[in-house]
Structure 1
Amino acid sequence: MSRRPGNPSRRLADDGSIPFVASIQSKSQNSPLLSIGLVIVGAIFLIGYFYSSSGGASSDVKDFSKLEGGASCSSEVLQALPVLKKAYGDSMHKVLHVGPDSCLVVSSLLEEEDTEAWGIEPYELDDVGAKCKSLVRKGIVRVADIKFPLPYRAKSFSLVLVSDALDYLSPKYLNKTLPELARVSTDGVVIFAGYPGQQRTRGEEVAKFGRPAKLRSSSWWIRFFVQTGLDENETAGKKFEQASVKKAYKPACQVFHLKSLP
């Protein structure tokens, strides 16, 4: 579309100045408080913008919930804690979390009343804070390759939570890792896995995990559980679904409930 030619006489005064600017200058000269007020209002808007961008007090969780463009299932564990407590009850008193960012998940679990928590970080820890270093130093969080037997005795934990770890394993290693997770638990294993189609930055993934995630469908997982000889915990799954409805919780990741090994 063509623009209408502007009328210079409407934009410029006889002396060549811009009327709107001249008006503001005149008002500013007449009222110094106006300038001060504008500066204060501008500062308030800037502070509000930066605070909302950083997320305020919840910035750590918000940053944690974004895995370079895709959902982090470890952050999903944090959001699902109230639902898990409803579904598993006393089984939440001794929990093992397996997956990246285990320090943050374990720290949150330890804040729960009457809850013991441990963690396994399957990948090297880089640029972690003092709190995470303390958990590792105390042996509460361990760095261990989950493709090999877990460093725990059978039925060491009441419940095992797994997130953002199995998506990076091939079926060859899943055949060994899944039974190990069921071996060290007494009341079941809860798996948080990504949905097919969730996008993640492959360069970032390969740098940290050695390979991009393989996000599988629910039908693929169910077939794999059967092939591996693991049974789904239907009772716990129904309780989880009921609690999710009551608390208006909609998982951003797939959630599977498995029984422990006999």
Structure 2
Amino acid sequence: MFTMSRRPVNPSRRLVDSGNVSFGASLESKTRSSPLLSIGLVILGAILLFAYSYSSGLQHIFDLIIQLYRTRGIDVSSKFEGGASCTLELQQALPILKKAYGDSMRSVLHVGPDTCSVVSKLLKEEDTEAWGVEPYDIDEVDDHCRKLVKKGIVRVADIKFPLPYRAKSFSLVMVSDALDYLSPRYLNKTLPELARVASEGLVIFTGYPGQHRAKVAELSKFGRPAKLRSSSWWIRYFVQTSLEENEAATKKFEQASAKRSYKPACQVFHLKAYP
């Protein structure tokens, strides 16, 4: 049976989901007391006016935070604008993955958007070689990313077709924010292809159902909106594709995560490569 890094339960969500009826009852009781309701509306109006007055300043602070992260090579736009980015999540989890996989991270292929950032981080690790596949057209990239593409370290390739690598070219293949946009028809080709080029294992970061949707601006790039699947769906699919869970890596990843109090915002699957 597969295990995975589970998303922590959000207490506030549980309260909202279980409190719909009581919220309605509370609203009804408040309408019976017009003085209290009037006072509440006045206070609410004052708060809204205060927030509106400072909205431009808050937006300026927000923009500065985004700019600071980008100057450090981290793309946080999707995390703030449309939900959790599993590529950003993977970057944050790299020290934990290093603990879990050890020598298996000596030769890594990352497949997913913003792969230049992931590859750059991996190349800073001692005794680690890294390559990347960007599944979508690269429009605006920095000079460092252009150099990685020019050297052939990062390639732009449609993952619906065979990858330009020999079998077992990499000890570990990492995937993020890529499989969620493929229909089962293309998954049947892409997932075995990812396993083909791995010699020791695969790590797959996928979104949770209901977590986020592709923004309208992304639809032309991805071709279709993300279809986020449940863990049970993925587990059945892995079994159908003859991919087995890497139980040893899963256990080490969970232990390292617990020590660092790390709770992934995405589903994380650890799989063995094909024999």
Q: Structure 1 length as normaliser, TM-score? A: 0.78
Partner of 2:244: 231
Query: Which residue in the other structure is 2:258 paired with?
Result: 245
Residue aligned with 1:91, SS: helix
1:64 CA displacement: 4.5
Contact 2:66 2:77 (8 Å CA) reproduced: no
Residue 182 to residue 103, structure 1, CA distance change in 2 (3 Å) = same
**CA RMSD across the alignment:** 2.1
> Which residue number corresponds to residue 141 of structure 2?
128
- Measure how far apart 1:251 and its partner are: 0.5
Q: Determine if the alignment matches structure 1 residue 259 to structure 2 residue 272.
A: yes
Tell me the alpha carbon deviations over residues 199-253 of structure 1, each in whole angstroms, 9 at most, x when there is no partner: 2344123122111000000000000001111111111111111111011111010
Offset, 1:62: 6.2
Indicate conservation of the 8 Å contact 2:75/2:114, yes or no: no
TM-score, structure 2 normalization: 0.75
Separation (CA, whole Å) in 2 of partners of 1:56 and 1:211: 26
Q: Larger RCO: Structure 1 or Structure 2 (Cα < 8 Å, ≥ 6 residues apart)?
A: 2
2:45 maps to none
Change (3 A) 1:65 1:245: farther
Identical-pair percentage: 70
Rounded to whole Å, the distance in 2 between the matches of 1:64 and 1:101 is: 11
Paired residue for 1:74, among 83, 87, 104? 87
Counterpart mapping for 1:106-255 below 5 A? 106-255=119-268
Secondary structure of 1:212's counterpart equals coil
Do the aligned partners of 1:110 and 1:116 also contact (CA within 8 Å) in 2?
Answer: yes
Superposition deviation, residue 113 in structure 1? 1.4
Query: How many equivalent residue pairs?
Result: 219
Q: Is the 8 A contact 1:65 1:76 kept in 2?
A: no
Larger gyration radius, structure 1 or structure 2? 1
* AA in 1 matched with 2:111: V
CA shift digits 1:142-188 (9 cap, x unpaired): 00111111110111111000000000001111111111111111110
Contact 2:172 2:200 in 1 (8 A): yes
Contact 1:64 1:75 in 2 (8 A): no
SS in 2 for 1:162: strand
Which position in structure 2 is the counterpart of 1:54? 64
Q: SS at the partner of 1:119?
A: strand
SS at match of 2:268: strand
**CA distance, structure 2, for counterparts of residue 148 and residue 158 of structure 1:** 21
